[in-house]
Amino acid sequence: MDKKELITKAQLKNLPITESKLNRYINLGLICSDTKGRGRAKGTLSHFTEESLDILKEIQSLKGINQKHIIFTLFWRGYNISWHKLKDAVYNFTLEIEDKFTEVNNKTKDPEFADYILNEMIEESVPKKKPGRPSNQDLKELKQQQEAEKESFRNILSVVQLLAAGSSMTCQGLKLFSRPNPNVTTQTIADADMFLDWLNLRTIKESIQRSEKNDYDNILEIIHCIQQYWNEIEAVSKSPTVNSAIKEIVQQINRFYPGGFTFRNVTLIRYLILAMLAFGKHQMILEFLKSDQTKTLFNQFVNLPFEKNKQ
């Protein structure tokens, strides 16, 4: 169908679509068409599939999501969107991150101001205690929690500062292997540093620029595999007899990415796509996720015995 037919059919389905709105969706890469020539000096004709109507309906259901971010949600859902526009959106997201990191880095060069920021973040993240005078035990637990959060935020700040400076991640930068361990050798650290070398904003931007449609197809398959694992973990976590480790995983992910592992969680989708484009090795990841050994280990994990002593 051509553009006019698409608009007419959409309106018959009570979808408030106008030509200008449809053009905006096309420019954002949310709706694709096949373009065919009409003949010499007669221009071209755009042909839309029935899926375009489904996409228009989906877009209407995604109220509250910024229009420039809807492409990520449609991608997750498996719709035929413009991968070129998706690529541009991922690249722009990287630039946003770079700007934010630079801003944070500039503002936290002053140690006193950095401490002030850390304290503000801790105030926001540490749960408020119940009303009333706290016991000594409550105060002790609160202090321990604050110190743990402060250390965590310091580590995050170090990572941001390294990335803002254009550096790659290292074990030292991520505070890995900071405690003495006889099993960790110099070679272990060197191998880990080599593995982390991709975690560099310049490298990430170059990876995005080199990306092709096949990369996004593979990433979508990876996301759907992870989604299946997550759905099972989340379902198991609701059981009163679930192992505490599983509950902790779900709580931590929901803490950092409110809304959970769903197609509506644009922030999570963007970070996943960005990380996988940067890291590459999509076939290796797919093979790992789909392997019988991984599935067996996963099933063993979700069926970990319940710790009765923690009741």
- The per-residue pLDDT for range 248-266, each reduced to its tens digit, is 888 777 776 666 677 678 8
181 vs 111 pLDDT, higher one: 111
Confidence band, pLDDT 50/70/90 cuts, at residue 195: very low
Amino acid code (one letter) for 55: I
Query: What's the mean pLDDT in 106-126?
Result: 67
The 3-class secondary structure across 35-103, one letter per residue, is EEECCCCCCEEEECCCHHHHHHHHHHHCCCCCHHHHHHHHHHHCCCCCHHHHHHHHHHHHHHHHHHHHH
Residue 46 dihedral angles phi and psi, to the nearest 5°: -90, 130
pLDDT at 163: 65
Q: Which residues of 36-48 are buried (b: 16+ CB within 10 A; e: fewer)?
A: eeeeeeeeeeeeb
Interior/surface letters 169-187, b for 16+ CB within 10 angstroms, e for the rest? bbbebbebeeeeeeeeeee
Q: Measure the CA–CA gap between 54 and 13, rounded to whole angstroms.
A: 10
pLDDT above 90 covers what percent of the chain? 26
- Which has the minimum average pLDDT: 58-62, 142-146, 237-241? 142-146
**Higher local confidence (pLDDT), 66 or 40:** 66
Q: Which single residue is written with the structure tokens 């059981």?
A: 239
For 259, the token pair is: 């809304």
**Cα–Cα distance between 176 and 172 in angstroms, integer?**
6
